[in-house]
Structure 1
């Protein structure tokens, strides 16, 4: 086998592993979300809402368009989990803030997500290495 062929096979296998892990993680999130009466995107929004942030910031963290994040936030707001507050420095923007009920549900979600995670078999050091390597790979693309 030629070197480029060997390299292509290795890359295909690596991409398959990464894709498989992404599917496992997505299914893990979906199952935990359903157990809390949430959709996977709603669970992702709650997980990523680590403090007050704009819709654009949340959309970026969720890896989606702001319009998609707005749809998700509208549903969470109807459930009294998130509120929109005036932004302290940009009068055109709103900040998304968890309500006390939203904070409690987020804490429960984080507990469930860490339970039996697809990454649970890795040590903290291995997770840090994986994170560093994936970050390195994404900055080179």
Structure 2
């Protein structure tokens, strides 16, 4: 309940922000647990999920909202495990593209399957998930 000095809108905003934070925390815990079953860190799992096509370290870092220098370590580990390779970029000879190996593609598929099992969003019907996605997208656009 809002106090006499507080309008209902800031209270509602705080409640929504708290719920978004709680859901994000559950999604992160779910990701960590599923990644661990495959011998991956959460960051490695996120990188695998984001590697939907060949991309540069900079592109991957942007998709993961972090610095390219942080992604270098993750890419090095995934490359060392045989899940990705670096290839010359076809248009920028200074850049390298990250490309999943067949083993990386297979692992990515297993990871996505695991992530969809008992997802924190599973209680929502497909239509509700779509509505939530649309609302969150609108909230991000400024």
Range into which the TM-score falls when normalised by the shorter chain:
over 0.9
Helix, strand or coil for the counterpart of 2:120?
Answer: coil
The CA RMSD measured in Å over matched residues stands at 1.2
Give the match for residue 102 of structure 1.
Answer: 104
Post-superposition, which runs of at least 4 consecutive aligned residues in structure 1 deviate over 4 A? none
Q: Which moved more, 1:121-130 or 1:28-37?
A: 121-130
One of 12, 15, 26 as aligned partner of 1:13: 15
Q: Is 1:79 paired with 2:75?
A: no
Number of residues paired by the alignment? Answer: 140
Q: Distance in 2 between matches of 1:24 and 1:18?
A: 10
Q: CA deviation at 1:55?
A: 0.8
Q: Distance in 1 between matches of 2:108 and 2:52?
A: 9
Q: Deviations over 1:15-40 (max 9, x none)?
A: 11000000000000000000000000
Helix, strand or coil for the counterpart of 1:38?
Answer: coil
1:85-96 to 2 correspondences below 5 Å: 85-96=87-98
One of 37, 40, 48 as aligned partner of 2:39: 37
Give the match for residue 127 of structure 1.
Answer: 129
- TM-score normalised over the length of structure 1: 0.94
Q: Deviations over 1:30-68 (max 9, x none)?
A: 000000000000000001100111111111111111111
